[in-house]
Amino acid sequence: MSAPRTNLEKQKRHHIVPIIGIIVVVLIALGGFLWWFNDETTDPEIPGEVPGPVGEIAEPPATGAAPVDGAPAAEPAEPTQ
């Protein structure tokens, strides 16, 4: 079965706007995906990772140094004789 009235020029005019709309939406989605992909691959910050050079080992605090929280350090005990 075929359509009883086929006017190709009229059908082209009626379908051009939806086709352009579909193309615009696809381009916007593609642009958003490329922006997201670029943002994810160029971000140097990785959650849960301590920033600093790779392979660097933290030194333990020196004896008598102040604790990290800023409280005063405890005095070392005097040796008893």
Band (9; pLDDT cuts 50, 70, 90): confident
Band (7; pLDDT cuts 50, 70, 90): confident
Task: Say if 64 falls within a structural domain.
Answer: no
Q: Tell me which residue range forms the domain holding 26.
A: 8-39
Task: Say if 23 falls within a structural domain.
Answer: yes
d(CA 67, CA 71): 6
Cβ-Cβ contacts under 8 Å for 45 (sequence gap 6 or more): 51
Task: Say if 47 falls within a structural domain.
Answer: no
- Of residues 71 and 40, which shows the higher confidence score? 40
Task: Say if 65 falls within a structural domain.
Answer: no
Name the residue among 39, 41, 19, 43 with its Cα closest to residue 31: 39
Residue 23: is its pLDDT beyond 60?
A: yes
Quick check: pTM over 0.85? no
d(CA 43, CA 31): 18
